[in-house]
Structure 1
């Protein structure tokens, strides 16, 4: 019999997590986006974590959750305000183990609990399929400039508020 894969767990962001999350951010961009973005675009994008102090401040200013496997961080996601997923990154070695889905589901529940009726994300081209499968709908294409490189993404939205289930009184 095969051994079951360890299940990912979630915990809140702590300041001392910044270096490992910066590494996950860079590894995710370099390892997972090559089909959609060229090397110069990837380097410009990953440079957002070069200044770890600023990167840590960004993570701390948002509701940031960390996914761990066997107590080691393998991914993270952050909610900006009550209704926008700012970041969702998983280390390439942990892709396909439910880490991104767990992080996204947690942010959806937290946003709904905070009164958000919908959730938006500016999804990179390689992340669009993931968000489509989770019920997000493309709203508009965007082009952003990062360190002199132009990168495209798509603003996507998911409605969080559903009416009462059939047969449930209002």
Structure 2
């Protein structure tokens, strides 16, 4: 039987977090996306974190939250322009244990509190069910070129209602 995780915490991104978040990003891609993307696609996608300075600037330029367990980062998510979930990644060791949902809940609440009516995400194929279960609706398929490789994703959207999610939860 799996051991229950200690309760995760949330905190804002700090520049010193960049190396750890880059490692989480790469591990999540390498270990969680193999059913939907080929090895060369995964390598190209993960290479986005190779330039840690640029990766850190991207995280710092958005509202980025970090999920921690016992003060160690285990996942992160970022909100771009108050209306788009730009990144949401969790370490494979905590995948499926509520960390991603906690991060997504927080971004939805923040976006709603800032007056956002609809929240969108370009969901990777392995994240479609996660977002669908949260009330996001597929709007269009996309092909994105990264490092010379084509990766598919789906733009999904959720209607927020006055700082609450579509289910009415504050």
Query: Is TM (by shorter chain) over 0.5?
Result: yes
Match of 2:38 in 1: 38
How big is the alpha-carbon RMSD for the aligned residues of Structure 1 and Structure 2? 1.4
Distance 2:50 2:91 in 1: 17
Alignment of structure 1 residues 1-170 onto 2, 5 Å = 4-161=4-161
Distance 1:7 1:111 in 2: 24
Distance 1:96 1:145 in 2: 28
Q: TM-score, normalised by structure 1?
A: 0.93
Gapped regions of structure 2 (runs ≥ 5): 163-170
Q: TM-score, normalised by structure 2?
A: 0.93
What is the aligned residue count?
A: 162
Q: Secondary structure at the match of 2:135?
A: coil
Deviation per CA, 1:25-58, whole angstroms, max 9, x where unpaired? 0000000000000000000000110000000000
The more displaced of 43-52 and 2-11 is 2-11
Shift of 1:63: 0.1
Q: Secondary structure at the match of 2:127?
A: helix
Match of 1:166 in 2: none
Shift of 1:3: 6.5
Shift of 1:82: 1.0
